[in-house]
Chains A and B, each alone.
Chain A
């Protein structure tokens, strides 16, 4: 019995961990949106995700703290403008996340 369990553990490939910073649905959507553009304004991200200012700001701050997005604040026509762009670390993290998702999906199909 014990030997069979050991054998099963050894033969099963190790399942990947999903990055908890990206895993949140809104943070995942934000990072994916930023993957398709060079940079984007806060208002554009808000319009496409349909999120509130507070929630969006909080999730973007988490991504910024993780080093996945870079923020730039400037004034355009005397109005404040905040733009975000994805960093190289963010791109790597998103790629790894997608790879892990696919691996997990493969494992769940094979199970």
Chain B
């Protein structure tokens, strides 16, 4: 009886392990195929860190955005989203206006932007 229980437990554990490895591989494949769009946004009037915080909060609400990088001295905001959730230029400009600033140029790219700090 004990042997039967042991063999069932071993079998279940093996199935569980196989499922886990399969899930990991599938997830990795999805991540590899997931394309991202990188967006450089010029925000005019962002002259102080305490007001830039409001801008950061608003961009974090955009679907798919999990990281907002603010370069205060350059008046730039960098965000990235999955390409399936790419926001429109108009929607980004409206977010900037609603936050109390003035929108400038907005550039979309499939490659990450190089910052001054990185060079």
Q: Do A and B come from one complex?
A: no
- Footprint of B on A, CB under 8 Å? none
